[in-house]
Amino acid sequence: HLLILLLMFDDAYAAKAADSNESHLVGLNRSYAEEPTERVHVAELKWHSTSTAFIIVFWLFLACIAKLIFNRASSLTRIFPESSLLIAVGLAIGVLLEKTQVNKSIFTLDSHFFFLYLLPPIIFDAGYFMPNRALFKNWDSILLFSVVGTMFNALAIGFSLYLLSGVITFSHTFNMFEILQFSSLISAVDPVAVIAVFEEIRVNDFIFVNVFGEALFNDGITVVIYELFKQFSCIEEVKAIDFIAGAASFFVVSVGGLVVGILAAFLTAVFTKYSGHALILGPCFILLVPYMGYLAAETLSLSPIIAIAICGMSMKQYIKGNVSASAATSVKYFTKMLSSSSETVIFLFLGLSVVAKSVAIEWDLAFIGFTILLCIVIRTIGVIIQCAFLNRFRGKTFSMVDQFILCYGGLRGTIAFGLASSISSSVPAKDMFLTTTIAVIFFTVFLQGSTIRPLVNYLNVELKKSEEPTMAETVYNKYLDYIISGVEDIAGQKGHASLVHDFERLNNNFLCPILMKDHAKTRDFDATKIIRAYAKHTLRDAMSATKWYPQHKRVVAIQ
C-alpha cells in the first residue's frame, strides 16, 4: 500500500508541476510587472529532485522485505523456490498498480537496464565463486553442452515448429528465420534461474558445474544465433556470403568475450599487486575492472556474459594473494550482497513487467503447448546423446539420475524474456512469441523449479557437503591428482589431470610471479601449494573457533 501511494503521489506531483509550469508561462506572457513575489519558506518539498532515487531505493527495500519474509516462512520455501515466489509477488503488485492507473514506465523491466546493471553482478558472483577444480574436470562436458547442445536445441525446436505450422494453423504466420530467431532465445538456459534453484537445493558440484556451466556459456551462443537469425529475417535474399559471415561472427563473439575476460582478470591482478600501500584500492579494482571488461565486451559487440564470468574465474587465485584476508572477506560479502539484490529485483520485476508490458498478450494455446513439449523432449534427447558420447571417454560418467537432473534443470528466465522483448515490431508474430516465452518461463520456474527438490530427495541425488574439506582431505585429493597425472604420462595419454598439472606448472613458473606479490618462483611448487592450503585451513579453523567464544574474548583468541 505504501508503494502504491508513493507512485500515485509521484504521478500527481508530476501533473501538478506541469500545470504550474504552464500557468507560469501564461503569466509571463501577460506582463513582466505581474511577477509573483518570493517569500521565505520554512520548508519546501523537493520531490522532483529525489523521486527517481527514492523509488529505486524503495523497490530494493521492498525486494529485501519480500526475501526476508520468504526466509522466515521455511514451510513455504520448502515447496516453492524463492524465484517463483518473487515472481508471484511481482504479479500481485503489478495487478494492484494496474488497477490504480499508475504510470507503467515506473514498474517496467527494461531489457537495456537488465543487461547493463542487474545481470553483471550475478554472473560475476557465479564466476568468482565457481569451483575451479570441478570446472577443470568437466570442461569437455560443459563445452559440449553449451555449444553443440544449444545449437541442437535451437535448430531442432525451430525446424519442428516450422513443420508444425504447415499442419496446424497458429494465430500468426511466420517464416523460417523468424521462428529460428524465437527458437534460439527459447533455448537459452538462464543462469539466474539455475543459480537461484540449484543453490537452494545444494546439489553436488558435479551436477551444479555442468548445469550452471552450460547455462553460463550458452548465453554467448544463444545471443550470437539470435542476432544472426534476426539479421537474416531482415534480408530479402540470403546469400552464401551471409552464412559465412554468420559463422565467423559466432567464433569472433565467443572467443572475443573470452579474450576480454582474461585481459580484465590480468589487469585486476596487476592493479591489486601494486596497491598494497593503499588497502582501500584493492577491493575497488576487484569490483570495477571486471565491470569495465563487461562494458568493453558489450561495446565491441562481443559476449559480455562470457567476459565477466571468465574474468571472475581467472582472477580469483591471484587477487587472494594480493589483498589481505579482511579485504577478501569484504569483497566476498559485497559481491554476494549485490548478486542477491539483483537476483531478487530481476524476478520481482519479471512479474511486474508481465502486467505492465505494452504489447498485447496473445495466448495461442496450441503454439505454447507444442513449444513447451518440444523444449522438454528435444533437451532430453540432446542430453542423452551427449552423455552417451561423453561416457565413452570419461572416468567420471553421467549416471541416469545425473542425466535426469540435467534434463530437468533446463530452466528459462529473464534472459529469454529480455531477448523476446527486443524482437522487432515488424515481425507479425512478436506478441505470440513474447507470450509463449512468458509461459515457458513460468512453466520451468514454477513447475520444474518447485518439483526438483522432492525429485532430488526421491532419487537420492548426492548433495553438496555442508562442511569444508579438512587439511588431510585437501592434501590427499591433490596427491591423487598427481598420481593420476603420472599414470596418464606413463600410458602416453593426456587427460584432465595432465592438463591441470601442466597448467599449474605454467601458472607457478610464469603467471604467478607476474600477477602476485611475494610469490617465489620455484620449480618445486608442490610445497608452495601445500603451505598455501595449510594457511587457508588454519585461518578458517581459527575463525570458526572464535564463534564459540564470547564477544570480548574473540580478539584474544585470534591473537
The pLDDT of residue 163 is: 92
In whole angstroms, what is the distance from residue 322 CA to residue 515 CA?
9
For residues 556 and 332, the model is more confident at 332
The pLDDT of residue 527 is: 54
Report how far apart the first and last C-alpha atoms of the chain are (Å, whole number): 51
Q: What is the enclosing helix (H) or strand (E) of 543?
A: helix 525-545
Q: Average pLDDT for residues 271-276, to the nearest whole number?
A: 86
In whole angstroms, what is the distance from residue 449 CA to residue 151 CA?
24
In whole angstroms, what is the distance from residue 557 CA to residue 555 CA?
5
In whole angstroms, what is the distance from residue 88 CA to residue 204 CA?
29
Q: Which pLDDT band holds residue 80 (cuts at 50, 70, 90)?
A: confident
What type of residue sits at position 467? E
3-state DSSP assignment of residue 511:
helix
Half-sphere exposure of 28 (CA within 13 A, CB side): 6
Answer whether residue 381 shows pLDDT above 90. Answer: yes
Q: Which pLDDT band holds residue 27 (cuts at 50, 70, 90)?
A: very low
Answer whether residue 372 shows pLDDT above 90. Answer: yes
**CA-based max dimension of the chain:** 100
User: pLDDT digits over 153-183, tens only?
Assistant: 999 999 999 999 888 888 888 888 889 999 9
User: pLDDT digits over 281-300, tens only?
Assistant: 888 999 999 999 999 999 99
Q: Look at 176-180, 257-261, 360-364 and tell me which has the smallest mean pLDDT.
A: 360-364
Answer whether residue 244 shows pLDDT above 60. Answer: yes
Q: For residue 353, which of 230, 435, 443 has the smallest C-alpha distance?
A: 435
Where is mean pLDDT largest: 39-53, 91-105, 146-160, 322-336? 146-160
The pLDDT of residue 25 is: 41
User: pLDDT digits over 35-73, tens only?
Assistant: 555 677 777 777 778 877 787 788 778 778 887 888 787
Backbone angles phi, psi at 129, to 5 degrees: -105, 15
